[in-house]
Amino acid sequence: MSSPIITKVVDTMADFPDELQQKVLTFVVTLQQQQQPKGDAWDVLDSMIGSVEAPSDWSTEHDHYLYGTPKNSELDA
């Protein structure tokens, strides 16, 4: 199914250099990923697993990263 809007976008992009076409594709993929997932809250949370880059000890040391408190491992030493 092709709409007039899609046809216009494709025709316009055909004249773009490869680098700009890649940027447009990246933007479209980002928009697609940001669409509201369907399902309950658990499904939404499950879809977000691994989507945030954080240190490997984030879950145990979140107070350190959020508020600057000493790491728990530093207190044990």
Q: What DSSP letter does each residue of the chain carry, written as one string?
A: ---HHHHHHHHHHTTS-HHHHHHHHHHHHHHHHTSPPPS-HHHHHHHHTT-S---TTTTTSHHHHHH-PPPHHHHH-
End-to-end CA distance of the chain: 63
What is the sign of the dihedral through the CA atoms of 46, 49, 51 and 52?
Answer: positive
Does 17 score more than 90 pLDDT?
A: yes
pLDDT at position 1: 54
Q: Report whether pLDDT(72) > 90.
A: no
| Average of per-residue pLDDT across 17-36 | 87
Domain boundaries, the chain: 1-35, 40-77
Reported as half-sphere exposure (CB side, CA atoms, 13 A), residue 60 has a value of: 6
